Amino acid sequence: MTTDTLTGVFEEHRPVLQGVAYRMLGRVADAEDVVQEAWLRWSGGDRSAVREPRGYLVRVTTRLAIDRLRQIKARGETYVGPWLPEPYVTDFGDTAPDTAERAVLADSVSLAVLVVMESLSPLERAVFVLREAFGYPYADIAAMLDRGEPAVRRLAGRARKHIKERRPRYDVDPARRRDLTDRFLAAAAGGDLAQLMELLAPDVRLVGDSGGKSRAPLRVLESADHVGRFLIGVAGKGIQDPAVRFLELNGGPAVLVLSGGRPDTVLQLDIAEGRVQTVYVVRNPDKLRALVP
């Protein structure tokens, strides 16, 4: 292949590779590093035996992501406060040609699912991502991971059972989530505790991720009273020349709060039965750099 052809083939599959790497790692920068390494393997390696570029590239990316995930776990780094995946701009474009497939892709990258996936082993996570998000046959996954198909099926079964037992079930309809997010913001910004309490489920949880680098709760807040009073108390404080923008993150509507033109906070809600079940607040500046206004 010529250099232009090599580049063209790789760029054609980049969105899928980025999607695999991000679901594996939950970190945008790490996912980009993995995809870049996959490009180096693709452009500088022996491709004489490659008959199906997409399968080859997904295999390389998955293995690199497994290695990166093992390195992260081996370092045993201590994170200050609750951890959330790095917000990920989701624009599926042509990778999801119908509504059903788009829903699967959005669900597989949701904050709720990614948080649960953190407790899977690297191999379980790889099998779950390849099977559930991208629909690869077990035989193909086995070849990618150099494992027998029965072993891959067992890994998939354990991962699926683990996710099913721990993941909450939320309403993923974008229109309903956007409407409730609008009302939620209006109540919080207006200091209307009564209205806010009507929108919160009694057992609502607020998960704030600051990494110790900005102000956010260092533990998960629980109950409508605690969450509501906290939100009313902090709304708009410490933010200079505030501006709010809606965008799609992790498969659903989210709010980006800007302070002085720079990303300050990402807020996203999970809802069920018309009420807010979980409030996700990301304030770690390292996780907001990619969200260019």
- Residue 275 is predicted with a pLDDT of 94
Task: Look up the domain containing 269 and give its range.
Answer: 174-287
pLDDT bin (cut points 50, 70, 90) of residue 170 is confident
Encode pLDDT of 202-212 as tens digits: 999 999 999 99
Whether residue 150 sits in one domain with residue 189: no
Whether residue 275 sits in one domain with residue 206: yes
- Residue 101 is predicted with a pLDDT of 56
Number of domains in the chain: 2
Beta pairing partners, 249: 89, 252
- Give the Cβ contact number of residue 52 at 10 Å: 10
pLDDT bin (cut points 50, 70, 90) of residue 94 is very low
Residue scoring higher pLDDT (141 or 112): 141
Residues 6+ apart with CB under 8 A from 90: 105, 106, 109, 248, 249, 250, 251
* Averaged pLDDT score across all residues of the chain: 89
Encode pLDDT of 196-254 as tens digits: 999 999 999 999 999 999 888 999 999 999 999 999 988 767 678 888 999 999 988 89
Whether residue 279 sits in one domain with residue 215: yes
Sort 159 into a burial class: Cβ within 10 Å, 0-12 / 13-18 / 19+: buried
Whether residue 179 sits in one domain with residue 145: no
> Strands across the sheet with 221-222, in order?
221-222, 200-209, 275-282, 262-272, 252-259, 242-249
Residue pointed to by tokens 């991502």: 129
Q: What is the CATH number of the domain that holds 260?
A: 3.10.450.50
Q: What pTM, to 2 d.p., does this model score?
A: 0.87
Q: Which CA distances in Å does 199 have to 79, 128, 152?
A: 31, 34, 43
Q: Which of 52-61, 89-98, 229-238, 250-259 has the lowest mean pLDDT?
A: 89-98
Residue 20 has pLDDT above 60, yes or no: yes
Q: What is the CATH number of the domain that holds 137?
A: 1.20.140.160
